[in-house]
Amino acid sequence: MIILGLDPSLSCTGWGVIRTEGSRISHIANGQIKTGVNTPMAQRLADLHSGLAAVIAEFAPDRAAAEEVFVNKNPQSTLKLAQARGAILASCGAAGLGVNEHAARKVKKAVVGTGSAEKSQVQAMLRVLLPGAQIAGADAADALAVAIADAHLAPR
């Protein structure tokens, strides 16, 4: 099974693709879709949608997984995250992909063993679980963690 993990963000959405065969997990690819801060909102959302559509077309995942939305202290930030997430979910829906959602604490627990793990601990565990994988950045690492968590948490 091929799983696409997503870490939605308006400025830099991370994505990671893994393959699962039984309990074995292997890295296929990862990257980030960046949008310009000074670009109009509608164009930024279109860029996220088309960027993810290209990833889906290239790697043909069987399903996707995304981190659940959390509420920021700043309502504007929460709204922007929700809009980015909408563009991401629309890309998956247009491709006929189901999307599982996982809370950040569950992702950390599935990957590291504790829900209060730091980002550095998650990234260290990714190096163990996906040896040799060149990770494109922090957002791509988060997306790979979501994909791995989905492999463990979602029904097969």
With CA atoms as reference, report the closest residue to 37 among 29, 47, 28.
47
Q: Are strands 24-34 and 12-21 parallel, antiparallel or unpaired?
A: antiparallel
User: Between residues 127 and 68, which one has the greater pLDDT?
Assistant: 127
Superfamily the domain 2-153 falls into: Ribonuclease H-like superfamily/Ribonuclease H (3.30.420.10)
Question: In this predicted model, what pLDDT tens digit does every residue of 75-113 receive, in sequence order?
Answer: 888 888 899 999 999 999 999 999 999 999 999 999 998
Of 6-15, 73-82, 97-106, 127-136, the least confident: 73-82
Rounded distance between C-alpha atoms, residue 112 and residue 118, angstroms = 9
Q: How far is residue 110's CA from residue 76's CA, in Å, rounded to a whole number?
A: 30
Q: What is the share, in percent, of the chain residues with pLDDT greater than 90?
A: 80
Average pLDDT on 14-32 reads 96
Alpha helices in the chain (DSSP H): 41-59, 75-94, 104-112, 119-129, 138-153
Q: What is the pLDDT of residue 142?
A: 95
What positions carry a catalytic annotation?
Answer: 7, 67, 139
Distance CA(118)–CA(40), nearest Å, equals 33
47 is in an annotated binding site: no
Is 142 marked within a binding site?
A: no
pLDDT tier for residue 156 given thresholds of 50, 70 and 90: low
pLDDT tens, residue by residue, 41-74: 999 999 999 999 999 999 999 999 998 876 667 8
- How confident is the prediction for the chain on average, in pLDDT? 93
| pLDDT classification of 132: cutoffs 50, 70, 90 | very high
Is a pLDDT exceeding 80 seen at residue 155? no
Which distant-in-sequence residues (6+ apart) come within 8 Å of 18 by Cβ? 2, 3, 5, 25, 26, 27, 28, 130, 144, 147, 148, 151
The response to whether 7 counts as a known ligand-binding position is yes
pLDDT band at residue 23 under the 50/70/90 scheme? confident
> Per-domain residue ranges for the chain?
2-153
For the residues 119-141, what does the mean pLDDT come to? 94
pLDDT of the residue at 8: 94
Q: Are 55 and 15 in contact (CB under 8 A)?
A: yes
